[in-house]
């Protein structure tokens, strides 16, 4: 699996309109924190029991087939790696992860959106 900085991911998505951009965060994060413009929501782990989505691979495969690139994003770049590994194990070849995710790493005060990440980079996002 390849990794992109948020800006590299945006360039890749702009240059590959056939790519599927998947936000793997929880429904609450996707709806209330916001999400990258153009991203579809398919949770890797979600509430109320915070269990793995047993249909994740099938849902991504339905959108991407085996030949379209898949770019994954989560809050900080961790869950998307796990989700990407599951997709690779299932045979998808073009899987990419966005480093630092949507909200980025924690700063010295344990807050996000101040160090790095999609929003911090000023990339397009929306709030539902």
CATH number reported for the structural domain that contains residue 33 in this entry: 3.40.250.10
Q: Which residue has the tokens 């056939």?
A: 18
Phi/psi region, residue 73 (left: phi>0; alpha: psi -120 to 50; beta: rest), is: beta
Number of folded domains that form the chain: 1
pLDDT of residue 115: 85
The answer to whether residue 127 is domain-embedded is: no
The answer to whether residue 24 is domain-embedded is: yes
pLDDT of residue 45: 95
- Domain span holding position 69: 2-90+99-122
The answer to whether residue 111 is domain-embedded is: yes
The answer to whether residue 46 is domain-embedded is: yes
pLDDT of residue 106: 85
pLDDT of residue 56: 98
Q: How many helices (H) and strands (E) does the chain have?
A: 4, 9
Mean pLDDT by 10 residues, the chain (128 residues): 97 97 96 96 93 96 90 95 97 96 91 90 93
pLDDT of residue 47: 85
């Amino acid at each position: 699996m390849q990794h992109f900085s948020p800006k590299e991911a945006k360039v890749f998505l702009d240059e590959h309109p056939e790519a599927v951009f998947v936000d793997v965060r929880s429904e609450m994060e996707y709806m209330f924190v916001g999400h990258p413009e153009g991203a579809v929501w398919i949770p890797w782990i979600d509430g109320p029991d915070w269990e793995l989505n047993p249909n994740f691979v099938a849902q991504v495969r339905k959108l991407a087939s085996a030949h379209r690139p898949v770019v994954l994003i989560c809050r900080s770049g961790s869950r998307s790696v796990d989700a990407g590994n599951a997709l690779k194990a299932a045979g998808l070849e073009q899987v990419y992860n966005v480093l630092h995710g949507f909200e980025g790493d924690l700063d010295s005060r344990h807050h996000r959106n101040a160090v790095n990440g999609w929003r911090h980079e000023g990339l397009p996002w929306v709030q539902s």
